[in-house]
Amino acid sequence: MREKWGRSVGSVISLTLKKGFTHCRTLSTHRKRKHENASSRRLKAERNILPQPGHYFKRTVLKVAFPFLILPISIMAQDHGVPDQSTPPAQSTGQQDFVTGSETPPSSTPTQIPLLVQAAPAFAYVRPSKQTPAVAAGYAPALNISTGFSATSLGMPTSGHAILGGVDLSVATDSGRHLGVKLDVNYERVPNAFSTGHPMDVFSYLTGPVFYPSNGGSLSTSVHLLVGGARVAGPFSNVNGVVLLGHVNYPAWAIGGGVEYRLSPAFGFRVSVDYLRTHFYNVSGVVRGQNDARIVNSLVYYFGKSPRKR
């Protein structure tokens, strides 16, 4: 009985020891597998963090290829910015293209090559040229015509002064440098000169340069010197007091100036005063020079656009 009980206790102890050894071996195996799994995961993480040998090569290829990919896009964008620029036709390379049955034959229309227009560099400096205007601003008009009423006091050698009235017509031009040319035609008449019952008239035709000392927006001044001729006809008294009729056509000249007021871009009003030198008979019947004074009030018309500032 005791032996049987001892065998049972021995078998229990041996079974317990076997299970203990088995459990320890299982724990050791699990720990070893767990350690191997942790080592493999750590190696994988290190492989993902550290760059592979081909990584640097890929980056280098991308850096080189990127500009070639961007260049056609930039050229097309700049070509749309210049729509009016004509593009030259494509040039043939001299190679023949063979077309298979599945391919579409090329079009006969020449291929348009986009043209890249580059702006001038920022450091390029072009000095502007000085351009002188054809007519400086503030000068007299290039062409004007005036007509109006005139009055002249003739200094007769025999009978004093005679007052004549008539019309005046003039045409003036200007070169744009304060200088111009003027043509003046004047006719004046008095029906009863010196109470003789005979008319007297003067017809003058003069031309010469005109100087414009000042030309404002509305008011301007001018000085002129005119030469030409004058025909004077009318009565005169001789030494015996007899009234005779005669006429002369002699050279004449005038010097004077005027003031002009601008009424509108096309019209103006001018007042001029002249010293006029003409010729007529004296009491001895000899042609002598006489001193005359003339005042002209006229309306001016300007042809074209006036260069004066308003």
pLDDT of 188 over the 60 cut: yes
CA angle, 294 then 299 then 301, to 5°: 130
Average pLDDT of every residue of the chain: 75
More confident residue, 166 or 111: 166
pLDDT of 150 over the 90 cut: yes
Distance CA 206, CA 180 (A): 14
Distance CA 91, CA 287 (A): 92
Q: CB-based contacts of 119: which residues, under 8 Å, 6+ apart? A: none
**CA atoms within a 13 Å half-sphere pointing along the CA-CB vector of 23:** 6
Convert the pLDDT of each residue in 237-253 to its tens digit: 888 888 889 999 999 99
**Per-domain boundaries in the chain:** 2-48, 143-302
Q: CB-based contacts of 202: which residues, under 8 Å, 6+ apart? A: 152, 154, 164, 166, 186, 187, 188, 189, 230, 231, 232, 233, 278
pLDDT score for 162: 87
- pLDDT band for position 155 (cuts 50, 70, 90): confident
**Architecture of the domain delimited by 143-302:** Beta Barrel (2.40)
Contact 222, 257 (CB under 8 A): yes
The encoded tokens of residue 185 equal 């035609």
Distance CA 158, CA 49 (A): 131
* Share of residues in the chain with pLDDT > 70 (%): 57
Convert the pLDDT of each residue in 262-298 to its tens digit: 899 889 999 999 999 999 988 888 898 999 999 999 9
- pLDDT band for position 53 (cuts 50, 70, 90): low
Whole-prediction pTM: 0.53
Convert the pLDDT of each residue in 105-147 to its tens digit: 555 555 555 555 455 544 444 455 555 444 444 444 478 999 9
CA angle, 212 then 146 then 148, to 5°: 120
DSSP string of 60-96, one letter each residue: HHHHHHHHHHHHHHHHHHHHHH-TT---PBPPP-SPP
The encoded tokens of residue 131 equal 């351009």
**β-bridge mates for residue 275, sequence order:** 255, 293
